[in-house]
Amino acid sequence: RKNTIVLHRLNKYGLNEKLELCPPPGPKPMPVIGSLHLLGENESPFQSFTELAKKYGDIYSIKLGSSKCLVVNNLDLIRKVLNENGKFFAGRPDFLRFHKLFDGDRNNSLALCDWSNLQQQRRNLARRHCGPKQQTDNFARIGTVATFEAVELVQTLKHLTAASEESINLKPLLMSTAMNMFSNYMCNIRFDAENDKEFIKVVDYFDEIFWEINQGYAVDFLPFLAPFYKKHMQNLTNWSHEIRTFILSRIIEHREVSLDTDGPEKDFVDGLLRVLRDDPSVDRNTIIFMLEDFLGGHSSVGNLVMLCLTAVARDAEVGRRIRAEIDAVTKNKRPVTLVDRPYMPYTEATILECLRYASSPIVPHVATENAEVAGYGVEKGTIVFINNYELNTSSKYWNEPEKFDPSRFLEKTKIRTRRKSLCDSGMESDAERIDAAIKEAEKEVLTLRRNIPHFLPFSIGKRTCIGQTMVTTMSFVMFANILQEFDIGAVNKEDLRQKPACAALPKDTYHLYVLPRKH
């Protein structure tokens, strides 16, 4: 039959079986543009994906330009694609922009490359440093570095606010603090965020690229439009070239000459350079691109902290509750550290709510073989959009999803508290034991709700985000230390509007009032 997708698989008797499956239904494409026009009907294409699901169901086909695409809109189907059939959907689309950002070859990038053994190897290599488990030395070091850099930021803000009561262009300061957190942790090097012009420029370029990578463009699906995007593409090439030059000259080359080959691995760069020395199959470019990719992760942290501060500027009650936690934990005698996090559930919940509210898109996947999902055929090469905007904003999953409310990430937990016995005889008589049992009271406290099945900001499956530990730890420390010392206010609340399905803000964005707190 026309349009059917053929796949071969083993049946339950171990015999080869041929299946012919129809693709899911979807809108009828127009010549040349396919159904691209339908995505332009809302501010974000993800809003359009949700609208179209009402008509075509939770899984549908859509042609964008000449690319066959699949859109998956509910949790069950998303799990089917990313978990159960993950190995068939681990590719990435071949967008021109992706190549431009990585020296002409998107396979140099960890997030934009197709799946390969090299990718598996790179993920494993990165995980120890960029996704350390709690209780490890690397995890503790993230905490130390993050507090150090957050305190530096607070000092800078104190100077600025002492000099003037004007609103502040806060975002660049958050970005350079995040970059110093990353470079200090991964490379044991930090930069002068006030005077080092090269550093300031590179942090700006990273931020431009972060914004860029969070946008969708018609040229992604209509490559013949490329001549109209010439200047834009040239910018991408230039920004990434400057970034690479900086990383080479200011980080890698220094470390290559002073590589300590014997002692314990000092940091991520150390780990990368040792692999380069010991494994002939790894080449120097791979190492440089990996470091660039991971250092680039700082932009997501800077943008996320800006979104968290925006939430406080929008709603003073959010700030009040966070400060109550900060003051209870630190008694205003010391900065906030990562060790405080378990005792500050509302603060952590605010960061999660910012992630939900912003709803950062999942990088599109690509089918690497003909596959089956929910009885439909999906042809090799199909681009797969995972609509996590629907997961984050639908009333099927959340009460009042349009409301910003961190407490949706909290739950009441009963904990047993044992009041200190008044009797200190050391003898444990029956009477004393009964007495102790009475004193052992049950108390209800608020704790963070973990493992909410439909909340997948970092995705699931083979290509899940490797940076989530760095994001959640560093943003917590930076955000909490700013709020410990400052009240945050909007110049004009109308300016604080966020683009739907986007965790990035433009490089040049609204200013905020940063007012020293009276403790």
Residue list, annotated binding site: 465
Q: Which is nearer to ligand HEM, 119 or 337 (CB)?
A: 119
Residue 48 identity (one-letter amino acid): S
Q: Which is nearer to ligand HEM, 200 or 471 (CB)?
A: 471
For the chain, state the CA radius of gyration.
25
Q: Which is nearer to ligand HEM, 393 or 459 (CB)?
A: 459
Shortest Å distance, C-beta 138 to ligand HEM: 13
CA gap 302, 332 in Å, rounded: 25
Shortest Å distance, C-beta 296 to ligand HEM: 7
Residues 129-148, one symbol each (x = binds ligand HEM by CB under 6 A, - = not), give -x------------------
Residue 495: closest CA among 472, 511, 471, 518? 511
Please report whether residue 463 would count as binding ligand HEM according to CB under 6 A.
Answer: yes
Shortest Å distance, C-beta 299 to ligand HEM: 8
Shortest Å distance, C-beta 88 to ligand HEM: 14
Shortest Å distance, C-beta 464 to ligand HEM: 5
Q: Which is nearer to ligand HEM, 29 or 93 (CB)?
A: 93
Residues 428-457, one symbol each (x = binds ligand HEM by CB under 6 A, - = not), give -----------------------------x
CA gap 250, 198 in Å, rounded: 10
Q: Which is nearer to ligand HEM, 301 or 344 (CB)?
A: 301
How many residues bind ligand HEM (CB under 6 A)? The answer is: 26
Task: Order the strands of the 67-72 sheet from edge to edge.
Answer: 59-64, 67-72, 383-386, 365-366
CA angle, residues 245, 251, 256, in degrees to nearest 5: 110
Please report whether residue 465 would count as binding ligand HEM according to CB under 6 A.
Answer: yes
Stretch that binds ligand HEM, among 23-31, 53-61, 402-410, 464-472 (CB under 6 A): 464-472
Please report whether residue 29 would count as binding ligand HEM according to CB under 6 A.
Answer: no
Q: Which is nearer to ligand HEM, 472 or 484 (CB)?
A: 472
Question: Exposed, middle or buried: residue 446 (CB in 10 Å: 0-12, 13-18, 19+)?
Answer: middle
What phi and psi, each to the nearest 5 degrees, are found at residue 192?
Answer: -80, 105
Cβ partners under 8 Å of residue 309, min gap 6: 170, 174, 479, 482, 488, 512
Residue 180: closest CA among 192, 190, 171, 172? 190
Shortest Å distance, C-beta 466 to ligand HEM: 4
Q: Which is nearer to ligand HEM, 83 or 429 (CB)?
A: 83
Cβ partners under 8 Å of residue 415, min gap 6: 442, 443, 444, 445
When CB distances to ligand HEM are compared, the closest residue is 467
Within 10 angstroms of residue 21's Cβ, the number of other Cβ atoms is: 18
Stretch that binds ligand HEM, among 28-36, 238-246, 354-362, 404-412 (CB under 6 A): 354-362
Q: Could you write out the three-class secondary structure of 35-52?
A: CHHHHCCCCCHHHHHHHH
Question: Exposed, middle or buried: residue 281 (CB in 10 Å: 0-12, 13-18, 19+)?
Answer: exposed
When binding is defined by CB under 6 A, the residue of 142, 276, 378, 471 that contacts ligand HEM is 471
CA gap 112, 109 in Å, rounded: 5
Binding residues for heme: 465
When binding is defined by CB under 6 A, the residue of 53, 352, 466, 502 that contacts ligand HEM is 466
| Residues numbered 358-397 forming contacts with ligand HEM, rule: CB under 6 A | 360, 362-363, 365
Please report whether residue 213 would count as binding ligand HEM according to CB under 6 A.
Answer: no
Q: Kindly state the tokens that stand for 163.
A: 């000099």
Please report whether residue 86 would count as binding ligand HEM according to CB under 6 A.
Answer: no
Residue 518 identity (one-letter amino acid): K
Residue 92 identity (one-letter amino acid): R
Residue 285: closest CA among 107, 123, 127, 97? 107
| Residues numbered 95-124 forming contacts with ligand HEM, rule: CB under 6 A | 110-111, 123
Shortest Å distance, C-beta 465 to ligand HEM: 3
Residues 288-327, one symbol each (x = binds ligand HEM by CB under 6 A, - = not), give -----xx--x--xx--x-----------------------
| Residues numbered 254-293 forming contacts with ligand HEM, rule: CB under 6 A | 293
CA angle, residues 343, 450, 73, in degrees to nearest 5: 145
Within 10 angstroms of residue 215's Cβ, the number of other Cβ atoms is: 13
When binding is defined by CB under 6 A, the residue of 139, 148, 458, 513 that contacts ligand HEM is 458
Shortest Å distance, C-beta 399 to ligand HEM: 23
Residue 337: closest CA among 329, 266, 129? 329
Residues that bind ligand HEM (CB under 6 A): 110-111, 123, 130, 293-294, 297, 300-301, 304, 355, 360, 362-363, 365, 457-459, 463-467, 470-471, 503
